[in-house]
Amino acid sequence: MNKKTFYITTPIYYANAVLHIGHAFTTLAADTAVRFQQAMGNETFFLTGSDEHGQKVEQAAKLRGITPIQHTDEMVEKFKALWKKLDIQFDHFVRTTDESHKKSVQYILKLLFDKGLIYEDKYQGWYCTPCERFWTEKETSITEGKICPDCKRPIETIEEKNYFFRMSKFQTQLIEYINSHPNFIRPESRKNEVLGFLNQPLGDLCVSRPKKRLSWGIELPFDSDYVTYVWFDALANYISAAGYPYDMDKFNKLWPASYHLIGKDILTTHSVYWSTMLMALELPLPETIFAHGWWITGGGKMSKSVGNVVDPLSFVDKYGLDAFRFFLFREMVFGTDCTFSEESFVYRYNADLANDLGNLLQRTLPLVQRYREGFFHKQKETIFPQTTEIIKMSEAIKTDYIKSMNDLMFNEALGRIWELVGRLNKYIDELAPWTLAKNQKINELDEVFYTVGEGIRFVAHLVRPIMPHQMPSFIKQLGLPETFTLLPDLQWGQLPDNTKCQTPEPMFPRLDTPRIENLKAEKQPEKTKTQGAPQELSPKPAPVATSTEADLIEYDDFMKTQLCIAEVISAAKVEKADKLLQLKVKIGEEERSLVAGIAQHYTPEELIGKQVVMVKNLKPAKIRGIVSQGMILAAGTPDGGLALVQPSKPAISGVRVK
């Protein structure tokens, strides 16, 4: 039997947002996994794409005065341009507007409808428009007031005929499956989260939207007044793009997917909705759903609505693609959240790339040139015990590395490789080839050079999936053709006798501190956003806001931020957080809870009754366990304090500020 293709997917990204390093991270991770599998000699298939239907896309297009498909066509071009710049080697880019995808979704719907697994019902329920989902009475009653348990925004009751997928029927089967397949949901903590979710009775899933409310979607094959719920449509991409049901030869080669790589934000939809959909279709489940953590900046998840996103290209342009890839995978423990900052980037770059790896190559090759005319000579016998140690270590590291890379634990894999890099640098110091040369110990000298050269060759092979553009140069500088041995065949001693190395090229020039300072100065003035996000309100003086041509935004974009007048009705200190105040504010009739970092600048008492300006449509965030549903605006004062932004005379409560 043929070996199964390694099939990996990324989420298909919403075609209404600009992609940032969060999205780039998932996609680069899939790319790294694929390059590793190829280096193992395996066949691979890498799927990414765009999620194009639904209310948000329809609204975004409307705002721009164009049709949804014109809008998504443009977005898709941008996605593809970014992936090209990041040299993402996907095999297929699926669009949910592709005819083949639509046909596949309709086939699935019809099949489940005919099996009685999709049924019609009258439905009255609580509906969250931004999340495009219904909530049960019970689910909403766990939260204070009628707000969406997910996004914490107000929800409304809606009654209408709809179609439902009998998700509840598969609850027990799913729990059993998760328990009997330890690798199905990873990491372990996410698996437990899903099992916790499944402790509650699972409802059925509303899979239709009446066209009168939303027309931008795939029409139901059994009722032309309805379109398909966007998640049901989107999740099916993983099989539609693999050929289901119209190219079953391809499908059988690819399915089940080896990995669905996702961020933790979309864990439930994948592990519960998607798994039960597959069970209903009697198809095998993916081997692993891997939910990684978030990249965090400014105290919160990087996201467009918070305004704290980092453009991957700014980093790639400044530091190079491989250094960027290296940083992402060295820094993030795959599965947990990680803070992104330019400082940590520069620190990591200097320590691991400039000092350790770059230095290893740059100090070794000139020594080989000076003392052995650039030739590596292979020895028959080993003289130094340190050499034996390094050979053993390399082999053990290769084994661990393969396991970690197979498991997508990239930071673990890199950690092990850097142990070898460190050991090789130390080996040079310990055995001091310059002294061996002075004392005419030629055999010893050759052993040291060969060991380090072979060590570099090993390292280059192992690092290549993560830094695919720069490792060929390492191999070339050693004097080898730029081809790589498949990893299972990689063995110590393959560096041919009499290989002649080249003069080293500068690889990872050190970034010095003044450059970091410059970077800070360059980056800071973007917007007065340090005062923006509630988790971030800081007592530091605000940087002066300046705008370059590239920063300018359209009026419509500005109008997406809903600023309004809010009145503080209560305020209290947050326990064990000396910078934070918990506020209750009124916007017209609506009450909201906020957390603001202003405790060092205002007492709770002086705030009560004050009118402030607040961002109303900011995604809620949990700060110290308290849900913050918006953000109040403040600006830095000359003495390093903070001043709340207020209307100059009493304004109407809840009125829009524009």
Which residue ranges make up the site for ligand MSP (CB under 6 A)? 11-14, 17, 22-23, 25-26, 51, 234-235, 237, 262-263, 265-266, 294-295, 301-303
User: Under a CB-based contact definition with an 8 Å cutoff, are residues 49 and 228 in contact?
Assistant: no
Complex with ligand MSP: residue 95 or 398, whichever CB lies closer: 95
Q: Residue 410: which region, alpha, beta or left (left: phi > 0; alpha: psi -120 to 50)?
A: alpha
Which residues have CB under 8 Å from 369's CB, separation 6+?
501, 503
Complex with ligand MSP: residue 280 or 634, whichever CB lies closer: 280
Q: Name the token pair of 586.
A: 């009124």
CB of 49 to ligand MSP, least distance (A): 9
Element (H, E) at 584: strand 581-587
CA atoms of 77 and 289, how far apart (whole Å): 28
Residue nearest to ligand MSP (CB): 22
Complex with ligand MSP: residue 303 or 530, whichever CB lies closer: 303
Quickly count: other Cβ atoms within 10 Å of residue 74's Cβ: 14
Complex with ligand MSP: residue 43 or 74, whichever CB lies closer: 74
Quickly count: other Cβ atoms within 10 Å of residue 114's Cβ: 11
Q: Is the peptide bond before 543 cis (omega within 30 degrees of 0)?
A: no
CB of 101 to ligand MSP, least distance (A): 11
Complex with ligand MSP: residue 235 or 596, whichever CB lies closer: 235
Complex with ligand MSP: residue 236 or 413, whichever CB lies closer: 236
CA atoms of 276 and 291, how far apart (whole Å): 18
Complex with ligand MSP: residue 235 or 428, whichever CB lies closer: 235
CB of 202 to ligand MSP, least distance (A): 19
CB of 361 to ligand MSP, least distance (A): 32
Output b/e per residue, 167-198; b: 16+ Cβ within 10 A.
Answer: beebbeebeeebeeeeebbbbeebbebbeeeb
Quickly count: other Cβ atoms within 10 Å of residue 115's Cβ: 12
CA atoms of 95 and 53, how far apart (whole Å): 10
Complex with ligand MSP: residue 253 or 304, whichever CB lies closer: 304
Quickly count: other Cβ atoms within 10 Å of residue 264's Cβ: 18
Q: Say if residue 225 is exposed, middle or buried (CB neighbours under 10 Å; 0-12, 13-18, 19+).
A: exposed
Three-state DSSP state, 189:
helix
CB of 137 to ligand MSP, least distance (A): 27
Instruction: Print the SS3 string covering 332-386.
Output: CCECECEECCHHHHHHHHHHHHHHHHHHHHHHHHHHHHHHHCCEECCCCCCCCHH
CB of 27 to ligand MSP, least distance (A): 8
CB of 304 to ligand MSP, least distance (A): 9
CA atoms of 436 and 383, how far apart (whole Å): 13
CB of 608 to ligand MSP, least distance (A): 35
CB of 70 to ligand MSP, least distance (A): 19
Complex with ligand MSP: residue 339 or 362, whichever CB lies closer: 339
Complex with ligand MSP: residue 20 or 416, whichever CB lies closer: 20
CB of 75 to ligand MSP, least distance (A): 10
Which residues in 15-138 belong to E strands, given as ranges? 44-51, 92-95, 118-128, 133-135
Q: Cα(first)–Cα(last) distance of the chain, in Å?
A: 66
Complex with ligand MSP: residue 22 or 312, whichever CB lies closer: 22
Complex with ligand MSP: residue 14 or 376, whichever CB lies closer: 14
CB of 267 to ligand MSP, least distance (A): 9
205-206 vs 156-165, strand pairing mode: antiparallel
CB of 350 to ligand MSP, least distance (A): 24
CA atoms of 351 and 347, how far apart (whole Å): 6
